[in-house]
Amino acid sequence: IDTHPISLSKVGLEEEDLLECFRCDLGFWDACYTTRVYCSPGERCFTGRGKAVDLLDVKTLGCVKTEECSAKTSLELYPNATLYTMTKHCCDTAFCNAARPARPVGLCSYLTGPALGLWYLTGPPPRLH
């Protein structure tokens, strides 16, 4: 699998010229499936930490443009319904965004996040009288 976001031969760069970081699209708590990725010129490694539905710790790892470091971002599904907020913390040495080794997490733990998000968006079940 090619983990280069750009073609090195087209821009005259060698692998050792590019910053290498860990990438994780979405993790819960400190459990995050990581791969290795080369950043494009002008990018730094980052660790994004935040909260989903105001109670579940989420994180992402990867490369980001320097101007996006320390920026707080939010994902909203519709007005007044924030799915998650996240702040990206940057660093600039190889694999400086290292994730802690993932702990074994059962299927139930992985399903908890989406279930909580769905409950948050739809509200609690109606009461029967």
In a domain, 66, yes or no: yes
Sign of CA dihedral 13, 15, 20, 25: positive
In a domain, 86, yes or no: yes
Q: Give the pLDDT confidence of 64-94 residue by residue, as tens digits.
A: 999 999 988 887 766 777 777 889 999 999 9
What distance, in Å, lies between the first and last C-alpha atoms of the chain?
Answer: 57
In a domain, 128, yes or no: no
Sign of CA dihedral 22, 25, 28, 32: negative
Q: Which of 83, 26, 80 is nearest to 51 (CA)?
A: 83
* Domain containing residue 15: 8-122
Q: Give the pLDDT confidence of 25-52 residue by residue, as tens digits.
A: 988 888 889 999 999 999 999 999 998 8
Tell me how many domains the chain contains.
Answer: 1
At residue 129, the pLDDT reads 57
Q: Which CATH number goes with the domain that contains 94? A: 2.10.60.10
- Asked whether the whole model's pTM tops 0.85, one would answer no
Residue type, 23: R
Q: For residue 86, what are the contacts with CB-CB under 8 A and spacing of at least 6?
A: 48, 49, 50, 58, 60, 72, 73, 74
